[in-house]
Amino acid sequence: MTGTRAHWGSRLGFILAAAGSAVGLGNIWKFPYITGENGGGWFVLIYLICIALVGLPIMMAEIFIGRTTQLAPVGAFRALSRRGSPWVLTGWLGVVVAFVVLSYYSVVAGWAMHYTWLSITNAFAAHDQAAINELFGNVYVSPTVNLGWHVAFMAITIAIVLGGVQKGLERWVRILMPALFVLMLVMLGRAVTMEGFGRAVEFTFAPNAENLTAAGVLEALGHAFFTLSLGMGAMITYGSYLRRDDDLVATSVTVGVLDTVIALMACLILFPITFTFGMQEERTVGLIFMNMPLAFSQMPGGALWGVLFFALLTFAALTSGISLLEVAASYFIDERGWTRRRAALTCGIAILLLGIPSALSGGTRLFGEQFQSLTSNLGVNDGAGFNWFDFFDYLASNWMLPLGGLFIALFVAWRVGGAAREAGFKTGTRFGGLYWGWIQLLRYVVPIAVILVFLNAIGLLGFLDGT
């Protein structure tokens, strides 16, 4: 089996691909915003602990499953458990989540592409805050803009996945990831010279327990799943293209560190701009799509910085998007014997169609009525009605990914045979001594942490905040 399976051309190729999957809208858009919302400092520290104690062990578990079985999620769970075992459902859950997440992720990626285009055409120049807010408002509700860019993003994603492991995924992440990193460094270099930089560093790193709530702690944990692409088999799939003797531990740690560094860099790019131009630190979608263009419109050479920033966001989204499509396509390739071409095209087009309601979510409250009562019960309704986009995001990030992560941890910790597991973990790594700790984290820390997230999500931990 190993002989015919496609593999990464090099270990670096895998690391770049896995880091490419991890680094995305979650790092550059969401992390700074939730950091702002939770008051910085302590939140960042807790997030780092979650990455280390929950995220990394699950990432190792996923890569372990993929590398051991050399199969995509569904086949991988089947290969490691008995016939008809319910564990296989975890693999299925992953495939479903890939469809769900990519369908709305592509819409946000579409905004990033649209804003790259707006920057190229210098559309933000001489705009004041009201005009820029209105611009985003118009984009948000426009069916043509949303659908057009959604189709464009999916078309590029499909084209890359069609190329296969080495000629598609690896070739592109080799270009896009370093480009992203360099762009981030350049922007960071610019941010350092801004007068708001000192305040931004203080805000991000100085301990400030004031705004931190139990909900914030659990939000940090939930975000650890999303940002590391965990809980849906993306890392199982990418791990399945590793050779069996590739170093599991070093690669996982490298990917986790890269992801974290980029998230922190995003804060140190966004907050200085925010503080320098006198904006507040708490915000939502606006942080990027409203405040960044405003900053660019007031900066010398702003148009160029705008192009760089939004191109960077598009790159980050693209390398995550291809990993999502790869999870879906690899199921049909491995389990149904489809050609890569057929699988990538069919899954890609299905996701494109599934994303249409999300792309139309801003302009229409098509599904608002139906979801209204459901979502106000869940406490995620902004009062204006709940749309398809929000519903998918809520479902995937708050429920499906942590649930998948929990099952993956339990499976590896309690179900997979001990001797084979130990030998597998220790193959090809100098860090075999971490094995015992890894298992303990998967056995106890991960399940307890995830269950806390769930209890919080259904509101049972509200009393901790005094609510």
Query: Which C-beta is closer to ligand PFF: that of 90 or that of 227?
Result: 227
Q: Give the separation between CA 419 and CA 118, rounded to whole angstroms.
A: 57
What's the closest the beta carbon of residue 73 comes to ligand PFF, in angstroms? 11
Query: Which C-beta is closer to ligand PFF: that of 145 or that of 224?
Result: 224
Query: Which C-beta is closer to ligand PFF: that of 22 or that of 292?
Result: 22
Q: Which residue has the tokens 């659990």?
A: 218
What's the closest the beta carbon of residue 19 comes to ligand PFF, in angstroms? 10
Tokens of 263: 């998230």
Q: Which residues contact 339 (CB under 8 A, 6 or more apart)?
A: 333
Tokens of 180: 């992203």
What's the closest the beta carbon of residue 366 comes to ligand PFF, in angstroms? 25
What's the closest the beta carbon of residue 180 comes to ligand PFF, in angstroms? 12
Positions touching ligand PFF (CB under 6 A) are 21-22, 24-27, 101, 226-227, 229, 232, 234, 320, 323-324
Q: Give the separation between CA 10 and CA 178, rounded to whole angstroms.
A: 16
Query: Which C-beta is closer to ligand PFF: that of 324 or that of 439?
Result: 324
What's the closest the beta carbon of residue 237 comes to ligand PFF, in angstroms? 9
Query: Which C-beta is closer to ligand PFF: that of 227 or that of 254?
Result: 227
Query: Which C-beta is closer to ligand PFF: that of 75 or that of 256?
Result: 256
Query: Which C-beta is closer to ligand PFF: that of 234 or that of 344?
Result: 234
Q: Which residues contact 330 (CB under 8 A, 6 or more apart)?
A: 72, 237, 240, 343
The secondary structure of 334-400 as a DSSP string is HHH---HHHHHHHHHHHHHHHTHHHHTTTT--TTHHHHHHHHHHHT---SS---HHHHHHHIIIIII
What's the closest the beta carbon of residue 360 comes to ligand PFF, in angstroms? 22
Q: Which residue has the tokens 């290969």?
A: 79
Q: Which residues contact 425 (CB under 8 A, 6 or more apart)?
A: 60, 64, 248, 249, 432, 435, 438
What's the closest the beta carbon of residue 26 comes to ligand PFF, in angstroms? 2
